[in-house]
Structure 1
């Protein structure tokens, strides 16, 4: 699995509030998109992982908002896999507009089966530096 990935995403009008500022809830969607894009960057397909009976669910998410993003901005979204071992994947995110920091975030992803039981992530997704 790749360690990191980044991509650009334009802010769409429907993601903003009445002041034209990205609503805070959209950052969780951006983070999910970043995880999917990270997998796609190496040829992994999230749908195929699910078909194999592995469900990757958010167990924890934290976001620290630094400055507003607005309609018309292009976000630069960076994701890094800090750890992926056992039944857990930890990611870190940085979201910027140009050089301006918009948000920093972290998630912990748990691997479960279709019945909700914890299961090991596929070996090809593992990263363990400890």
Structure 2
């Protein structure tokens, strides 16, 4: 397992008329967590793309447990449980303190920037994953 925890303070622009964080924002929070998880592996998203690969989302799921509000600090836990082969699945838990706000996952395909076609997990990503994987 590879895990990262990062934080985001909720801005006023993140909330809706009901004063909750707007439901569509959670995919953005997942992206923040995913970006930091990949950075923790030793490569930025930008470097990954420059090496010839993209990671488009092809599936996403969000379960809302409790509302979050303006100025609260979200703790975004991003987890990569299994070694990627042809796809990458990242799971997320978003909390404010001990309160679970949302959970879910995103699934990504590895895509070549040269061909625009799906490929197996690139060797450079496998190497980074193997160096950081913890049981």
Q: Same fold (TM over 0.5)?
A: yes
- Per mean C-alpha deviation after superposition, the further-off stretch among 52-61 and 80-89 is 80-89
Q: 1:4 is matched with which residue?
A: 3
Q: What's the secondary structure of 1:64's corresponding residue?
A: strand
Query: Is the contact made by 1:54 and 1:121 (CA closer than 8 Å) also made in structure 2?
Result: no
What TM-score comes out, normalization by structure 1 length?
Answer: 0.90
Q: 1:69 is matched with which residue?
A: 68
Query: Is the contact made by 1:61 and 1:105 (CA closer than 8 Å) also made in structure 2?
Result: yes
Q: 1:79 is matched with which residue?
A: 78
Query: Is the contact made by 1:67 and 1:101 (CA closer than 8 Å) also made in structure 2?
Result: yes
Q: 1:22 is matched with which residue?
A: 21
* Residue pairs, 1:42-53, within 5 angstroms: 42-53=41-52
RMSD of the TM alignment (CA)?
Answer: 1.8
Bigger strand share: 1
Write the distance in 1 (CA, Å) between the matches of 2:41 and 2:86: 20
* Residue pairs, 1:96-115, within 5 angstroms: 96-114=95-113, 115=115
Q: 1:94 is matched with which residue?
A: 93
Write the distance in 1 (CA, Å) between the matches of 2:3 and 2:125: 13
What TM-score comes out, normalization by structure 2 length?
Answer: 0.87
Q: 2:119 is matched with which residue?
A: 119
Write the distance in 1 (CA, Å) between the matches of 2:94 and 2:110: 25
- Per mean C-alpha deviation after superposition, the further-off stretch among 111-120 and 45-54 is 111-120
